[in-house]
């Protein structure tokens, strides 16, 4: 195991948190520690959490901090090797055969190889950050295949041999935890569970993301969202919804709507499920009043 104490000038969890703050992402201590360890130990970072807590955003911020391009692979059921790793450019190969005539032509050169996210990350590990998003959506076979990739960071292409990364690329995996990931996969990763941020942090996030929102409004929104999350909803609001709610209410308020009413009118931004809306409706006033 190779341990690099300092990556791109970042030598502690605090330095990483500071750099991510500059990239418009507020990371708590747990996340910055896990992310720093992942970078230092050269292991993939597995982020789990409810939808909308900022898992993908964390990966983007990490890419910005390291000054790397984000290569994103969205997982889905039925994801196959051709869209995850590489593909041969068959029309071009056919053309090459025709044009070559009797001459020798190397059909498996770089010209004919279309690199997909996983291969892209291996080719330039210092310039790219691979994000494998919503890994829980993929099927078990892809997960098993991923194991091999994540443990030795190599891919074998039958026509070309094995392609190995010069150094372990930075890989971030996210999961909504709709199903449990395989233990073998978790074992290879540095893990962090992103929960909903505490109210103080969430208010800071709101103010950072939506600059037009006043401090009071931010705290009010965060308090109201906190109460909504305590309700048994089908889809509790995430951080992104909190930010949108604050923005929407601020907009309505600027057009003359008084405060609690502005929040109530913008409720569609934060609750996007008819059953949830109907469930909360009778108590919405109380939830908002407590927040004001």
Partner 1 sequence: MTPRALDPFLAFPRALRAEGFLAAPAQVESFLAAVGLLGPRSIQDVRRAAHAIFGPGPDRRQEFDDLFDTIFLGRAFLAPGEATSEEAPRAFDAGDQEEFLPPEDEDPSGREASRRERLFARSFAVGDETALLSAFARALPGALPRRRSRRFGAARRGVADPRRALRELARHDGEMLQLPVRRRQARQRRVLTLIDVSGSMKGSTDAALRIAHTIVRTAERAETFTLGTRLTRVTRALRRRNRDQALALASGLVADWDGGTRLGEALSVFLSVPRFAGFARGALVIVVSDGLERGGPEALVAAMTRLRSLAWRIVWLSPLAADATWRPETGAMRAILPLIDHLDAGGDLVAMAGALVGRAALLRAGPFQ
Q: Which is it for strands 86-88 and 113-115: parallel, antiparallel or unpaired?
A: antiparallel
Nearer to partner 1, 183 or 255 (CB): 183
Report the nearest approach of partner 1 to the CB of residue 161 (Å). 17
Nearer to partner 1, 33 or 123 (CB): 33
User: CB-side exposure of 65: number of CA atoms within 13 Å?
Assistant: 30
Cα(132)–Cα(125) distance, rounded to whole angstroms? 15
Note the residue count of the chain.
Answer: 292
Nearer to partner 1, 158 or 258 (CB): 158
Instruction: Say how many C-beta atoms besides its own lie within 10 A of residue 284's C-beta.
Output: 17
Report the nearest approach of partner 1 to the CB of residue 270 (Å). 23
Nearer to partner 1, 183 or 258 (CB): 183
**CB 63 within 8 Å of CB 70:** yes
Nearer to partner 1, 67 or 78 (CB): 78
User: CB-side exposure of 169: number of CA atoms within 13 Å?
Assistant: 30
Cα(196)–Cα(237) distance, rounded to whole angstroms? 10
**CB 38 within 8 Å of CB 45:** yes
Nearer to partner 1, 83 or 124 (CB): 83
Report the nearest approach of partner 1 to the CB of residue 278 (Å). 20
Report the nearest approach of partner 1 to the CB of residue 156 (Å). 15
Report the nearest approach of partner 1 to the CB of residue 195 (Å). 7
Report the nearest approach of partner 1 to the CB of residue 60 (Å). 20
Reduced to 3 states (helix: H, G, I; strand: E, B; else coil), residue 171 is: strand
Strands (DSSP E) found in 60-176:
69-74, 86-88, 113-115, 128-133, 154-157, 161-164, 170-175
- Interacting residues with partner 1 (CB under 8 A): 1, 3, 5, 12-13, 29-30, 33-34, 36-38, 40-41, 43, 46, 48, 78, 80-81, 88, 90, 93-94, 97-98, 107, 139-142, 145, 177-180, 182-183, 186-193, 195
């Amino acid at each position: 195991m190779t341990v690099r104490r300092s990556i791109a000038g970042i030598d502690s969890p605090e330095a990483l948190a500071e750099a991510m703050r500059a990239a418009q992402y507020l990371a708590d201590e747990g996340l910055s520690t896990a992310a720093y360890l992942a970078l230092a130990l050269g292991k993939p970072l597995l982020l789990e959490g409810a939808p909308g807590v900022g898992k993908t955003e964390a990966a983007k911020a990490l890419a910005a901090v390291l000054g790397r391009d984000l290569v994103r692979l969205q997982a889905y059921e039925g994801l196959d090797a051709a869209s995850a790793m590489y593909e041969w450019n068959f029309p071009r190969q056919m053309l090459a055969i025709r044009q070559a005539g009797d001459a020798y032509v190397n059909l498996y050169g770089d010209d004919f190889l279309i690199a997909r996210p996983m291969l892209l990350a291996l080719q330039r590990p210092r310039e790219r950050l691979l994000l494998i998003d919503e890994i829980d959506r993929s099927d078990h076979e892809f997960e098993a295949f991923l194991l091999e990739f994540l443990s030795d960071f190599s891919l074998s292409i039958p026509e070309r041999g094995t392609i190995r990364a010069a150094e372990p690329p930075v890989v971030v995996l996210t999961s909504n935890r709709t199903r449990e990931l395989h233990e073998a996969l978790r074992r290879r990763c540095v893990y962090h569970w992103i929960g909903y941020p505490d109210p103080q942090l969430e208010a800071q996030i709101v103010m950072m993301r939506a600059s037009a929102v006043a401090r009071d409004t931010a705290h009010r929104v965060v308090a109201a969202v906190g109460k909504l999350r305590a309700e048994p909803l089908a889809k509790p609001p995430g951080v992104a919804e909190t930010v949108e709610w604050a923005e929407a209410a601020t907009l309505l308020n600027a057009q003359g709507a008084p405060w609690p009413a502005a929040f109530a009118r913008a409720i569609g931004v934060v609750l996007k499920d008819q059953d949830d809306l109907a469930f909360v409706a009778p108590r919405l006033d109380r939830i908002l009043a407590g927040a004001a």
